[in-house]
Structure 1
Amino acid sequence: MVLNKRKRSIAKKRNLVTYTNPDSIISEQYRTIRTNIRFLNGDKKNNTLLITSPGKWEGKSTTAANIAISMAQQKEKILLIDGNLRDPGIHHIFKTSNATGLTDVLTGKVNFEEAVCPSNIGSLDLLTSGAIPFNPAELLGSHMMSLLLKKVNSLYDLVLIDSTSLLEVTDTKIIANLCDGVVLVVRQNKTDLESAFESKKVLEYAKAQIVGVILNEKN
């Protein structure tokens, strides 16, 4: 799956190009990715997909957000979870509150229904990260996380999780093992070949299934 994206200097709102400019070429490419994911999943329902990248600044959060919107625009019920408990970004992209989120659910402060919020874009719901904890890896690998994913799988057609960069910390390896598949985002002239191959090995070691690779091309 190949995705051509504009330069970083464009207006910030263009991060959600599938919403702000649905007729654009970029939006059509996201729809292609959406279709490819559906073909990969076949008739299987309630899938949980992890969106990650080898390193930072490769476009994984923006990619996760736009795939989620593209799917929600097709009347599918989608949940986008910010699983990056170290440097979360989904609340910035959607310009929403991060006062309550995933960490609060995992620590038992609130239940899922209290933490989830509508994106007001189609049938897309958001579960932001919540406060940055001192023990992100432990929270993501907890029994509460497994219970949460089991719960949301029964409520949504597809669950997408934006995570930390794969090669920097252990968090993503932990979540990958809990998901049905992983989509790896790499950027042209940013991601080196060695990092891409190392990411593949790490995911295989974590017994995670790589269902696709998205290449962000700089124009």
Structure 2
Amino acid sequence: MNTHSTQSEVSRMPLVFSKKNGVTEQLHRLRRSIAQHQTDSEHATPTVGICSSTPREGATTTLLNLAAQAVSLGERVLLIDANLRTPRLHAMFNLKPAPGFTDLVLSRASHDKVVQRTGKEKLMLVSCGSVVQNTESLLNFPGLPMLIGEFRRIADLVLVDLPPVNPSIEAGLVGQALDQVYLVIQAEKSRWEVVSNAKEQLNSYSVNLCGAVLNRRRHYIPEWLYNKL
């Protein structure tokens, strides 16, 4: 693979985060980007996925920070844990893992039964759900966009924690059901070839990849989130 052309291809992705800006400004830029990309949609409430090329690049932290910022502005936020291999969100909020996302897809639970209150006003969670052996088969479901879209009626922003892209096809399967997806890149860690591969995989599923989140430093997590860890 030509390293120069690969780096050029990745660098053309719209950059949402910049190391020159503070975290608060970065979050505002990301929220503005989401709003701008949603203007052409028939839906006012965006469904947005956050993912990374490989594990531990800060995708979940980015999602939580974005949720905290949106809640602080008075928005109702619904989190969905679609990282079925290594789900974390329910543990962060000391909530039960099931019923949740998998139970909804399997028609074992209705939308209202899988939504949990987090203890933070206007922040709700749909946890991972019951353990499923063949997650790729489960998520290859044509009704997934409508199923996730139903949550628009109770939220101003739906944020979906997606699994890392390169290890499996699950990020693409869920991502194609969402309005927008953002790829988190840890600049000191991620190789351009790895990021390019993730971009190509998402594109192969016709995912609406709206930008890259450049994660160059530790993100500040609000105190109320630290208390949940």
Say if 1:145 and 1:193 are closer, same or farther in 2 by CA, change over 3 A.
same
**Secondary structure of 2:216's match?**
strand
- What does residue 197 of structure 1 align with? 196
**Secondary structure of 2:62's match?**
helix
**Secondary structure of 1:218's match?**
coil
What is the deviation of 1:93? 2.7
Match of 1:39 among 36, 49, 58: 36
- What does residue 2 of structure 1 align with? 17
What is the deviation of 1:64? 1.0
Matches within 5 A, 1:155-174: 155-174=154-173
Which runs of 5 or more residues in structure 1 are unaligned?
A: 5-24
Match of 1:30 among 27, 30, 35: 27
Q: Which deviates more from structure 2 when the two are superposed, residues 164-173 or residues 204-213? A: 204-213
- What does residue 91 of structure 1 align with? 90
Whole-angstrom distance in 2 between the partners of 1:43 and 1:194: 32
What is the deviation of 1:120? 2.7
Q: Does 1:104 align with 2:103?
A: yes
Q: Which deviates more from structure 2 when the two are superposed, residues 149-158 or residues 166-175? A: 149-158
Kindly indicate whether the alpha-carbon contact (under 8 Å) linking 1:58 and 1:187 is maintained by their aligned counterparts in 2: yes
Report the TM-score when normalising by structure 1: 0.82
**Secondary structure of 1:214's match?**
strand
RMSD between superposed Cα atoms in Å: 2.0
What is the deviation of 1:52? 0.7
What is the deviation of 1:132? 2.5
Which runs of 5 or more residues in structure 2 are unaligned?
A: 1-15, 219-229
Kindly indicate whether the alpha-carbon contact (under 8 Å) linking 1:177 and 1:207 is maintained by their aligned counterparts in 2: yes
Deviation digits for residues 101-133 of structure 1, max 9, x if unmatched?
111222222211111112232312110102321
Whole-angstrom distance in 1 between the partners of 2:98 and 2:208: 33
Deviation digits for residues 19-57 of structure 1, max 9, x if unmatched?
xxxxxx534432332233223323741221111110000
What is the deviation of 1:95? 3.0
Whole-angstrom distance in 2 between the partners of 1:144 and 1:210: 20
- What does residue 80 of structure 1 align with? 79
- What does residue 187 of structure 2 align with? 188
Kindly indicate whether the alpha-carbon contact (under 8 Å) linking 1:72 and 1:124 is maintained by their aligned counterparts in 2: yes
State percent identity of aligned pairs. Answer: 27
What is the deviation of 1:218? 3.1
Report the TM-score when normalising by structure 2: 0.79
Kindly indicate whether the alpha-carbon contact (under 8 Å) linking 1:117 and 1:127 is maintained by their aligned counterparts in 2: yes
Kindly indicate whether the alpha-carbon contact (under 8 Å) linking 2:171 and 2:202 is maintained by their aligned counterparts in 1: no
Q: Could you tell me which amino acid in structure 1 is paired with residue 116 of structure 2? A: C
